[in-house]
Every structure is written in C-alpha cells, then in structure tokens.
Amino acid sequence: MRLAPNPNGPWHLGNARMPAVIGTYKHRYDGWMLCRFDDTDPETKRPDPEAYDAILDAISYLGFEPDEVIRASDRLPTYYEHARELIDLGGAYTCSCSAERFSELKNAGKACPHREKSASESRAEFDAMVAGETDPGEFVLRVRTDITHPNPALRDWVAFRVIDTPHPREAASEYRCWPLLDFQSAIDDHLTSITHIIRGIDLQDSAKRQGFLYDYFDWEYPEVIHWGKIRIEAYDVPMSTSSIKGLIEAGDLDGWDDPRAPTLASLRRRGIRGGAITEAMVALGTSTNDADLSISAIYAANRERIDEAADRAFLVRDSIAKTVIGSPETGEPPVHPNHTEWGVREIPVGGAVRIEREDLPPNGERVWLKGLGCVRHTRDAFEFVGTDIDVVREEEVPVVQWVPADDARELLLRTPEGDHEGWAEPGIEDYPPDEVVQFERVGFARIDRQDEDRTVAYFTHS
RNA sequence: GCUCUGGUGGUGUAGUCCGGCCAAUCAUAUCACCCUCUCACGGUGAUGACCGGGGUUCGAAUCCCCGCCGGAGCACCA
C-alpha cells in the first residue's frame, strides 16, 4: 500500500482519510506502507518545503508510521530511464503541438503529425528536454495510446513537460523536465511493488491511462479502489489547502491551527485524539459516492477516548457575582464523578461567587451550587439554605457551576464559533498545556497555555 | 458533446456479485425515561431508509429496461 500526498501545504481534515484508511488496512492485513511524496510540479502545485515533515507528523498523529518514505523529486533519473525505454518500445513520442491544437485533434479522434516520427527522433528531442535545451511548451512527451479510443480522456496523454521554475528542494532544483502524475505514479507503483492502491475517484481514468504504460512494459497493474469526496458540515471555511492558505494570508484565520479552520492542526490543538479522526474516517468506508462526514462522529469517537480520564472543573462564561451569606468556606466537588478515589477539589468561596448570568434564578428562587450546597436568591445576594440534596432530587432545584468571585482564574476559551472570556476555578492554572479537562455543563477543553494571569484553553466539544 | 461512475433512515454503513434466513444490520444523531450534585459517562425505549416507474419471478434492496438525480475525467495539476 502507499500514501501519495502532494506536499503543497499542511493537511486539512479531508486529507486524513488516506492515511486513516490505508494505515488501518495495513495493520489489518499485516501489510507494508510507503509514503511517497508526489512533488513533480514545481509550478502550479508548488511543494511547500515545510509540508513534508508536517505531513509525516500528521500521519503519526493519526496513529500510523510509514515503513518507508520517498520523494518523487529524488527519482527523476529513474523516470527518464523508463521514458527512454518507452520511446524505444514505440510507446511514446515527442510532440510540439500547442495544447489547444492537440486538444482539437484529439477531440476529433485525429492523430497529430508527430505521432509517426521515428523513435530515434523522439529520443533526441526528449534528451534535449531533459538537458534543459528546450523552452517550456516547445515539446512534450506523449504516451501513444489509442487516438480513437471512445473515452477522449485516454487518448495520447502527456507524460513529461518542461518547467523553468526550479523545484523548491535543493536536491531537485536543477531538473527542468518533469513527469506528470500518471507517468511518475505508474512507474513508482510498479518499482516499489505496490499491490493495492486506494485513492479518489478523480483518478479513476488515471488507472486506465496508466494501463497503457503497464501494457508496454508488460507489468501487472495493482488492485485499485476509488472513493468519493468527503464533505464536512460544521465549517464555514471551505476544505481546500489553497483556500485555507488564502484566508490565513488575509488575516481571517490566525493560522493553520485556528479553531475555526478545518485542519488537522486545529483539531489537534482542540484536544481531539488522532485515533478519533481515524475511527470516523474508517467508518466512512470506501464507497465511490461522495460522503458527508458529520463532525459529531469524530466528537463521539473522541468523547469515548477522553471522558474517563478528564478531570472536571468549573468555568463560568458570561457571569454575574453575588455575595453569599452563611455558606461553608469551601466547596468540594469531586475531581471525577466516576472516580471518587481521585478525591475532591477544594474551592474557596470567599464570601461571594460568580455564576453564569443565564443560571441566575429569579428573585426568591433557589439554585444548587455544585459541590457547595443550596442557596436562595434574595434581593442582591445568595442566602445559604443547606446541603440537603433532596431539594435537587425532589424539588428540581437546578444545579450549576460557580467560581469564587474574588479568587477565580481568568480564562480565554477559544471555540470554532468564537472566543469566550470567562473565569475558571482556582487550580486551573496548575494544569500543564495539552491536558484535557471537562468544564462541567460547558464541555471538554484542552489547556493550551498558562500566561502570567490568564489561562488559554481550546474548546474540544461538549 | 464524449467517456466513466454511483444512488439503503438526518449522517455513515451492512446486505447487492451467487434473488428467499431483509416486515433490512450496526454506529452516530434526535427525542423520552432511568441513573446522576454536569446538558458528560452508563442504562432502557422510541423515531427514521431500499431514487421513481415498468418488467422477469412463487418471491426483487438484490436481476433486466426506461426515466430522474448526483459525482468524476476529457490539463504541458495532483
């Protein structure tokens, strides 16, 4: 099996499907997995030098390690060698038609005059392309397929063209004659003994185009599965590397890990485990139909992974402070309701508390401050009523989270919908970055960093 | 225009090749109830689908035909 990413930028959620499914199959069938960077276009889909490592890192985040990593841009001599062989076999010819001219001929099912030139002439012209002696557009190398094939997509396709823009990788910066995907990928799949290919339906005709090559070389084409695109609701931002890049450059997003971005870096920063993404992707299967991935599938898989281990904590967002009269000095809610052995958090009251504005009961009504007890809203304060839990069980007093009014920790919660300023219980500043906690009645969040006087957390999901 | 390819509940998926065990699986979602000092976790229950129309057959999600709707390719992108 192989992953064949184009390293033109960090990965978005859609890219995760390839390693998730292929990696899972690799494990399931005890296979071998190659990561091959298809970086053969220094111009239109120009590789981003940082993306190579970023992609390997993303694969690792999703839970997989390639058995081997190669870059197509290291393998140009191999492609040239096979191109020459193909020319000698009568399977390719150099063509100097313009793209428009050839397209017209092709659509009419007519060959261009260059199709019948001799192999030696094509060899010479191809050598000139490789040597950088020809201008871009002057010549291309075409594979001779069947110019009258009913499917116009398969007729005499281009295998090599000349590009003057140097490749961003130092090691490949001298090459000017570059293979296109259909040629490069076909050669590499055979040479690396790939037995199974899984990729998008946009490459459906590719398998047929490459079939001609395999026939010339008398090779056997791998098993191939094509799947449809995935769409993900819940994001305003389109899921494409170039459009995300554009939004970042325009300042509409803070970066690749902005919580509003549909990128792997963003989910990771929000505390989503890579395995949850993998699980959701694998569940989509490999249908050729387009699929809608609901983000809730990822959340559900993630919740399974984090709920048992996440400490509970209090956070109030838009809040209001009230003096408390007659309460105990500290509240003692459990660290985790399913793990009483983990103990309790000791939260000082300090004479006044802060609760979410929405939770403020009408005057005269009661509310249960979790871990502390029941209070009644008098004219402008909370009067402590007691700790008899029956009022919650039998009289339906609402239970809410709270923080001390004078001793809370300022917290910024970043969510896909926007940022919330709020106050967290004291002690939240002791959690190291990367820790995931559950803010009760709010949702899970990953501690991102601890500033001098403020904690920054990223909202995971409810 | 030419050529591929696909349509099962809100979403995903099993079943389609080799017609009956499918009054259609599982997950998620939504709702209700139970549990609970969280709207988390756990438990119970409910909701909800074979694109349409013909045909073959004792019998069709499954085979055939005709429609309808979708996706992809026809690049000197990957």
pLDDT in tens, chain A (462 residues): 999 999 999 999 999 999 999 999 999 889 999 999 999 999 999 999 999 999 999 999 999 999 999 999 999 999 999 999 999 999 999 999 999 999 999 999 999 999 999 999 999 999 999 999 999 999 999 999 999 998 999 999 999 999 999 999 999 999 999 999 999 999 999 999 999 999 999 999 999 999 999 999 999 999 999 999 898 877 878 788 888 999 999 999 999 999 999 999 999 999 999 999 999 999 999 998 889 999 999 999 999 999 999 999 999 999 999 999 999 999 999 999 999 899 999 999 999 999 999 999 999 999 999 999 999 999 889 999 999 999 998 888 999 999 999 999 999 999 998 899 999 999 999 999 999 999 999 999 999 999 999 999 999 999
Q: Which domain holds residue A264?
A: 2-73+228-300
| Of A254, A257, A277, residue with least CA distance to A265 | A257
| Of A414, A421, A422, A417, residue with least CA distance to A459 | A414
Nucleotide B26's nearest residue (CA vs C1') is: A283
Closest nucleotide to A5 by C1' from CA: B78
Same domain, residue pair A315 and A285: no
Closest nucleotide to A291 by C1' from CA: B12
Same domain, residue pair A261 and A278: yes
CA A75 to chain centroid: 28
| Within a domain: A305 | no
Residue A267 is part of a domain; what is its CATH number?
Answer: 3.40.50.620
Q: Tell me, in Å, how far CA of A103 is from C1' of B75?
A: 10
Nucleotide B40's nearest residue (CA vs C1') is: A307
Q: Which nucleotides of B are covered by protein (CB under 7 A)?
A: 1-8, 10-14, 27-30, 36-42, 70-78
Same domain, residue pair A81 and A152: yes
The structural domain count of chain A equals 3
DSSP A99-120: HHHHHHHHHTT---GGGGS-HH
Q: Tell me, in Å, how far CA of A353 is from C1' of B32?
A: 35
- From the CB of residue A267, how many other CB atoms can be counted at a distance below 10 Å? 26
Q: Tell me, in Å, how far CA of A288 is from C1' of B56?
A: 29
Q: Tell me, in Å, how far CA of A420 is from C1' of B37?
A: 26
Same domain, residue pair A218 and A102: yes
Q: Tell me, in Å, how far CA of A205 is from C1' of B63?
A: 28
The interface predicted TM-score of the complex, written ipTM, equals 0.90
